[in-house]
Amino acid sequence: MPVPAANLRPILEATRTVWESRLEEMFARGQFILGEQVASFEQEWADYLGAKFAIGVGNGTDAITLALRDAFAARKQSPGEVLTTALTAPFTGVGIAASGAKIKFADIDPDTLSIDFDDAANRVTKRTAALVPVHLYGQPCRIDLFSKLARQHKLTLVQDAAQAHGSKFHGRRLSEFSNYVTYSFYPTKNLGCLGDGGAIVTSSPSIHKRLREMRDGGRRGGQVSYGPGINSRLDEMQACYLRSFLPRLDDWNADRARTAALYDAALADIPGVRLLKRYPCSVCHLYVICAERRDKLREHLSKRGISTGIHYPVPLHLHPAFAACGQKKGSLPHAERAAREILSLPLWPYLLPSQVAEVAEAIRKFYS
């Protein structure tokens, strides 16, 4: 049987009666933008994360852009430079660029592949205006240290938690470390919808008020724009799905963690495979290995019906879109090496132990 890299069908089947009921409510009301479903989900998501407010937006990219724009405007400062990791989805960089800021990239910790704090701290200059650390693969980076660094240099701290739904750092919720935590609800996320969606989480009433206006063209519920804004609103249909899935998130995260542990045990002694350091706080969004002859291994698995991914094949400083950063090939060696070796194995809630064993056995045969 084929083993897909991700599979939404069992998630949808497990929650069918709930989301069907919510969709019927939505159609009965006839409101499809910024209605009761969105408002309810925003409160439920904020409560789940231990924050006061959540602002639903069109996607995770817009969440980063809006957070940075709001911070720069509130501080009455020009965008300046924003520091982030080179190993992340392009949309982290796209979101930063859309705020008007210039991007600089830091290298990664080769053991976890998360942004390396020491390298990032050494790259902070008088031109740095904000930090956007990414909680990669479901595992928080050293957000405690980034929070201190931001306070020390009076920098805005925006957390990209697009892969870290429900994750904590040493028992503390991510919202405790900064005024802006951004999320994506892309379908394959730990909490995803059936299209695009995103949110910004904060406990600041003033930030909440400003972002609600900014996401809706600067409006305050009418047809008058009172300030700068964009059109980026989480829609009612996606909120129906998110509200239906949220009560299952802890169980699904635990299921992902059990699957990751099975992979750990099955792959630990295979030469040519290096496992990443993972901490209990990880919500295991992706299960990523570093593999010798990665592309050949991926081809080998594909022939056996096993789908894989690469997150991410090119570090952002080598993307033509971000060439203005001025960081050339060889400048971030750990990120560049990781991009040549990383491979994401199948991982989703309800993945069977027998499927994990099938993937592991195929990898073992490749290196035997």
Q: Mapped to the 3 state alphabet, what secondary structure does 53-77 carry?
A: EEEEECCHHHHHHHHHHHHHHHCCC
132's enclosing H/E stretch is: strand 128-132
- How would DSSP label each residue in 171-221? TEEGGGS-SEEEEE--TTSSS--SS--EEEEES-HHHHHHHHHHTBTTBSS
Q: Are 219 and 213 in contact (CB under 8 A)?
A: yes
Q: What are the residue ranges in the chain where pLDDT is below 50?
A: none
In the chain the domains, ranked by start, together with CATH numbers, are 9-246 (3.40.640.10), 248-367 (3.90.1150.10)
Residue identified by tokens 């009761």 is: 36
Write the CB contacts of 1 (distance below 8 Å, at least 6 apart in sequence): 305, 355
pTM over 0.75: yes
Q: What is the pLDDT of residue 193?
A: 97
Q: What is the pLDDT of residue 14?
A: 97
Q: Tokens representing 350?
A: 């309800």
Q: Tokens representing 150?
A: 């931001």
Terminal C-alpha separation, the chain: 23
Q: What is the pLDDT of residue 221?
A: 85
Pairing label, strands 81-85, 168-169: unpaired
What Å distances lie between residue 146 and 35, 131, 175, CA to CA? Answer: 36, 8, 13
Q: What is the pLDDT of residue 1?
A: 78
Contacts 24+ apart (CB under 8 A), 335-338: 335/85, 335/86, 335/87, 335/105, 335/107, 335/108, 337/110, 338/87, 338/108, 338/110, 338/113, 338/290
Q: What is the pLDDT of residue 334?
A: 98
Q: Are 178 and 159 in contact (CB under 8 A)?
A: yes
To 10 degrees, the CA torsion angle through 231, 233, 236, 238?
120
Q: What is the pLDDT of residue 225?
A: 87
Pairing label, strands 180-184, 156-160: parallel
What Å distances lie between residue 259 and 306, 345, 346, 355, 360, CA to CA? Answer: 16, 11, 10, 10, 12
CA distance 244 to 113: 32
CA distance 260 to 356: 9
Output the furthest CA–CA distance in the chain (Å, rounded): 67
| Buried/exposed 85-95: b ≥16 CB within 10 Å, e otherwise | bbbbbebbbbb
Q: What is the pLDDT of residue 255?
A: 98
CA distance 315 to 272: 22
CA distance 59 to 186: 8
Angle between helices 353-367 and 249-267 (to 10 degrees): 30
SS3 288: strand
What Å distances lie between residue 176 and 14, 134, 179, 242, 364, CA to CA? Answer: 32, 16, 8, 23, 42
